Amino acid sequence: MNLTTGVAVIVALVVLYSTAWLMLAHRARSRVDTYIARERDRGTNLSYGAETTGGFPLRLEVRFSDLAVDGLPHMAKARLTAPTAIAWARPWQLDAWRFALPAGVSIDAPQGTLVLGSLKGTLGTVLGPGATPGGQLADIQVESLSITSGDRTAKLAAATLDLRLPPTPPHAHEEPLFSISLRAHQITLAAGVVPLGQQVDHLKLDATWRGPVPPGKLADALAGWRDDGGTIELQSVDLAWGPLSLAADGTLTLDKDMQPLGAFSARIMGYDAILDALIASGGIKQNDAALARMGLSMMAQRGADGTPQLKTPVSVQANAIFLGPARLLKLNRIDW
């Protein structure tokens, strides 16, 4: 091959690749337009100030400015806003997309406001047996999140969330709608409602939401999910809250008043701190606490590191969290 032929081959390859990239960019924009139209038909109105496609030659990027979404699923009065939203993928790997909202995102709803300082992650297809599509997996990273409801605000410094969607939506209460793995750190709870202090070092949980959620308003949809036997299965919960460490598993749903209802099996370290908190909050008298402390000490077992551990049921009911028969924490009523 002489020089002229070599140059001609390179030019041809560049032209072919550029043409393929432009076709993929056009297809990406068409899919975005189709998605927006489909969601608008479902009651979700997505708008933006500008849309640009770029990233040539090594990636395919779609960028939106002044993104606004009115009418989130099951929340017709909710509004999501983000100054910038970006999604990109390699032209040769379009089943693995990355996304980012680098300037943050805000969601305003009647129940309160959620603000994220930044959000980024990946979305890809999970392969099942025989290399067949087995669902979707999103890996999401969040920094600086706050949730405000009325005059109460809770915050966390950082969190990661793995969200797994099955290949088909559920049709019965025992089938999964999605599964999550959450890791949250440096959580600041709302003031005035926490007997163990406002600072939670970390919360880790693995859970599966089981059962379909019917369309409609959020309260009606959740009521339908509950009535059909829907549950949230928590395979593991790991909580470090001041002097308290807790590991638990159990099931959560909603009661007839649409409030959390759950039963868990827990292993607790630092249970003395719970009794101190119950005394301080008036949940238990000093003399009763002394008897309880003695009884719990007799029931406790030594862990691998020699630390006393208490195995006990924990329940969520009547707008409170109970450690056995003793109320540990009163919960605010959820107004859906």
Assigned domain for 300 exists: yes
**CA 133/CA 125 separation, integer angstroms:** 6
Q: Does residue 213 form part of some domain?
A: yes
List the pLDDT tens digit at each of the 336 positions of the chain.
566 787 788 888 888 988 888 998 888 888 888 888 888 888 899 999 998 999 999 999 999 999 999 988 888 889 999 999 999 999 888 888 999 999 999 999 988 999 999 999 998 887 655 555 567 889 999 999 999 988 889 999 999 999 999 988 899 999 999 999 999 999 998 876 566 778 999 999 999 999 999 988 899 999 999 999 999 999 999 999 888 889 999 999 999 999 999 999 999 888 777 777 777 766 667 777 777 777 667 666 776 666 778 888 999 999 988 877 777 677 888 888
Which pLDDT belongs to residue 131?
A: 53
What pLDDT score does 155 carry?
94
Residue 228: inside a domain: yes
In a domain, 168, yes or no: yes
172, burial (CB in 10 Å: exposed 0-12, middle 13-18, buried 19+) = exposed
**Structural domain harbouring 19:** 3-330
The pLDDT, as a whole number, for residue 265 is 95
Cα–Cα distance measured from residue 28 to residue 87, given in angstroms and rounded to the nearest whole number: 10
| Residue 77 in domain | yes
Query: For position 295, what pLDDT does the model report?
Result: 67
- The three-class DSSP label of residue 319 is coil
Residue 90 structure tokens: 């390699």
CA distances from 219 to 42, 180, 336 (A): 18, 22, 6
Q: Calculate the alpha carbon distances from 14 to 17, 88, 90, 234 in Å.
A: 5, 21, 17, 52
Q: How many separate domains does the chain show?
A: 1
Residue 335 domain-assigned (yes or no) = no
pLDDT of amino acid 250 = 97
What pLDDT, on the 0 to 100 scale, is given for residue 2?
67
CA gap 110, 205 in Å, rounded: 27
Look at residue 194 in the predicted model and tell me its pLDDT: 63
Cα 312 to chain centroid, rounded: 27
This prediction has a pTM of 0.83
User: Which positions ≥6 away from 169 have C-beta within 8 Å?
Assistant: 177, 212
pLDDT at 115: 96
Q: Specify if 303 maps to a domain.
A: yes
Residue 163 lies in a domain: yes
